[in-house]
């Protein structure tokens, strides 16, 4: 009887050990469970995210944008409020474009009490990103991990300065990824969360339970649409924000590649309508007159299946690929036209919207 009871227990313990060994993140997550020194049962165990806030909080600064008083260039008034995230010990801070767009002077207040004016390195209106720089020593830098993948259901914390109350942390989960319907051009993919983001949180940090930066808070759904809603907020994914920052630091602005087409993802229905077997790629719906695609000879109803031998999955992947190319670069588009494959070289130009 004893052997009969011991066997499943031992098998269960062995399975748990294997899982903890092969999935290190489970071991790390367990470290976030804190208990009282004399805890004797589960009622005394407390789940806390104080470790994450302790790591990330000092690197989230208050941002105040100031303007000259009309008719008096000697007086300044504070006209904007937001937050910013210190991402480098060299003094670089990421915030939102809309936080500093109208500023004549930008003031940064750290959580340790230090205050400094900031230099505006550059902005990118399309992604709502601005990069600031402060000349200060011993800056707290927010933890960053580019290898960490964010998933729907992950617990997140939004840190910022809502309504100038002082640094505040709100709690939620990742509700969705890749939300593009609320962006100005319908292309930028936001992180959607139910962590509260209010006026003053813009430009602040969205972090995971390890205190690592995963996004730059930008707006609530109400701010984006003027609808009365709760529990729907958005953040710019950290990889995109970091990429935009490096471009701004390098060139003073973001230089995007451009070909001048509007496309639709290919699917089985569209393939049948066009009378082709290919179901991957994008269909060219329209071409900007005088743009690179027009000059190269691309036509409406062409199906783009690859670019420089890289398979085209959807219109989003094409846009991301083209944006990263420097103007003047020539790439080969493999296109299906009237059931035949042809190769068309296209020379990338700079996006005129920039």
What are the pLDDT digits (tens) for 249-265? 998 888 889 999 888 88
pLDDT confidence of residue 39: 52
pLDDT confidence of residue 247: 92
What CATH number did the domain enclosing 119 receive? 2.40.10.10
**Which range has the worst mean pLDDT, 2-11, 200-209, 211-220?**
2-11
Identify whether residues 218 and 287 lie together within a single domain. Answer: no
pLDDT: is 279 or 34 the higher one?
Answer: 279
By the 8 A CB rule, do 243 and 146 touch?
Answer: no
Domain boundary among the residues 216, 247, 278 is at: 247
Active site residue 128: yes
Catalytic one of 65, 83, 128, 183:
128
Active site residue 98: yes
Task: List all residues 6 or more positions away from 333 whose beta carbon is below 8 Å from its beta carbon.
Answer: 296, 298, 304, 306, 307, 343, 344, 345, 346
What CATH number did the domain enclosing 341 receive? 2.30.42.10
Q: Is the pLDDT of residue 22 over 60?
A: no
Residues 207-224 pLDDT 10s: 999 999 999 998 765 555
As beta bridge partners, residue 345 has 332
204 in any annotated domain: yes
45 in any annotated domain: no
21 in any annotated domain: no
84 in any annotated domain: yes
Q: Is the pLDDT of residue 4 over 60?
A: no
Identify whether residues 227 and 278 lie together within a single domain. Answer: no
Considering 4-8, 31-35, 175-179, 267-271, the range whose residues carry the highest mean pLDDT is 175-179
* DSSP 8-state secondary structure symbol assigned to residue 150: P
Identify whether residues 219 and 282 lie together within a single domain. Answer: no
43 in any annotated domain: no
Query: Pick from 126, 122, 156, 132: which is nearest to 65 by CA?
Result: 132
Q: How far apart are CA 286 and CA 260, in angstroms?
A: 9
Domain boundary among the residues 247, 266, 292 is at: 247
pLDDT confidence of residue 95: 96
How many domains does the chain contain in total?
3
Please give the residue range of the domain that contains residue 323.
Answer: 257-350
DSSP H or E stretch at residue 241? helix 238-251
Region 296-302: mean pLDDT is: 90
Identify whether residues 238 and 164 lie together within a single domain. Answer: yes
pLDDT: is 193 or 21 the higher one?
Answer: 193
Q: What's the burial of 218, exposed, middle or buried (CB within 10 Å: 0-12/13-18/19+)?
A: buried
Identify whether residues 243 and 265 lie together within a single domain. Answer: no
Catalytic one of 65, 183, 202, 315:
202
100 in any annotated domain: yes
Residues 300-331 pLDDT 10s: 988 888 899 888 877 777 888 888 888 999 99
Catalytic one of 83, 98, 124, 315:
98
252 in any annotated domain: no
Identify whether residues 159 and 230 lie together within a single domain. Answer: yes
31 in any annotated domain: no
pLDDT: is 67 or 54 the higher one?
Answer: 54
Active site residue 146: no
């Amino acid at each position: 009887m004893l052997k009969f009871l011991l066997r499943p227990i031992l098998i269960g313990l062995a399975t748990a050990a294997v899982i903890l060994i092969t999935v290190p993140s489970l071991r790390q997550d367990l470290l976030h469970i804190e208990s009282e020194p004399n805890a004797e049962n589960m009622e005394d165990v407390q789940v806390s995210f104080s470790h994450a806030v302790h790591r990330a909080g000092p690197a989230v600064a208050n941002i105040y944008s100031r303007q000259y008083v009309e008719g008096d260039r000697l007086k300044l008034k504070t006209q904007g409020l937001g937050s910013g995230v210190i991402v480098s010990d060299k003094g670089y801070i990421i915030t939102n474009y809309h936080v500093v767009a109208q500023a004549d002077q930008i003031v940064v207040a750290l959580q340790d009490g230090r205050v400094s004016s900031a230099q505006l390195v550059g902005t990118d209106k399309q992604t709502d990103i601005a990069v600031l720089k402060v000349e200060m020593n011993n800056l707290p830098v927010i933890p960053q991990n580019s290898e960490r993948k964010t998933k729907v259901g992950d617990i997140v914390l939004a840190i910022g300065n809502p309504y100038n109350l002082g640094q505040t942390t709100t709690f939620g989960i990742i509700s969705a990824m890749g939300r593009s319907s609320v962006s100005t051009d319908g292309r930028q993919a936001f992180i959607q969360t139910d962590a509260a983001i209010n006026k003053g949180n813009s430009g602040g940090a969205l972090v995971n339970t390890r205190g690592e930066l995963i996004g730059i808070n930008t707006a609530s759904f109400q701010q984006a649409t003027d609808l009365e809603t709760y529990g729907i907020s958005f953040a710019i994914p950290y990889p995109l924000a970091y990429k935009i920052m490096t471009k701004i630091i390098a060139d003073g602005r973001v230089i995007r590649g451009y070909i001048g087409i509007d496309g639709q993802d290919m699917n089985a229905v569209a393939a049948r309508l066009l009378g082709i077997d290919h179901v991957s790629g994008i269909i060219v719906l329209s071409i900007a007159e005088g743009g690179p695609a027009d000059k190269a000879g691309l036509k409406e109803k062409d199906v783009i299946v690859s670019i420089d031998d890289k398979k085209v999955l959807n219109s989003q992947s094409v846009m991301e690929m083209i944006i990263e190319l420097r103007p003047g670069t020539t790439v080969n588009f493999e296109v299906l036209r009237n059931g035949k494959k042809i190769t068309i070289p296209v020379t990338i130009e700079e996006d005129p919207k920039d």
